[in-house]
Amino acid sequence: MSEDEGEESRRLLVWVTGALAAFAVSALVGVGQSLPRNLQVSLAANVGLSALGFVATASIIGGLGQCFIKANLRGIDLNKRTTKRDAEGNLVRPIEGIPIPESQGT
């Protein structure tokens, strides 16, 4: 996958995620309007804290990834075409491929 394809894939992912988030918010607003006031507050607090937790987790994982690579705590993505294999499909030793921080799972 070229860098342009990767960037296009990321843009599509961001767009689809945004569209799904907008749909979810509109559904929650629709459901929330039929609830009593105290449950509306609880629903709003839960949604807000969930969004805050998602943003915090995504930023922490992104920031720690490079720290893990520098500390040599990394693996490779075995499903990528760039991971070298021999004619029989076995991994070439030493294993070569795009390094993935262990904090992001391999």
Better-predicted residue by pLDDT, 64 or 42: 42
Distance CA 48, CA 45 (A): 5
In contact, 103 and 72? CB cutoff 8 Å: no
Domain map (residue ranges) of the chain: 1-34
Checking if the pLDDT of 105 tops 60, the result is no
| Reported pTM | 0.55
Helices and strands (H, E) in the chain, number of each type: 2, 2
pLDDT value, residue 53: 96
Query: Residue 62 — pLDDT band, cuts 50, 70, 90?
Result: confident
**74, two tokens:** 């990394």
Read off the pLDDT of each residue in 48-71 and give the average, rounded to a whole number: 85
pLDDT value, residue 66: 78
pLDDT value, residue 85: 80
Checking if the pLDDT of 65 tops 80, the result is no
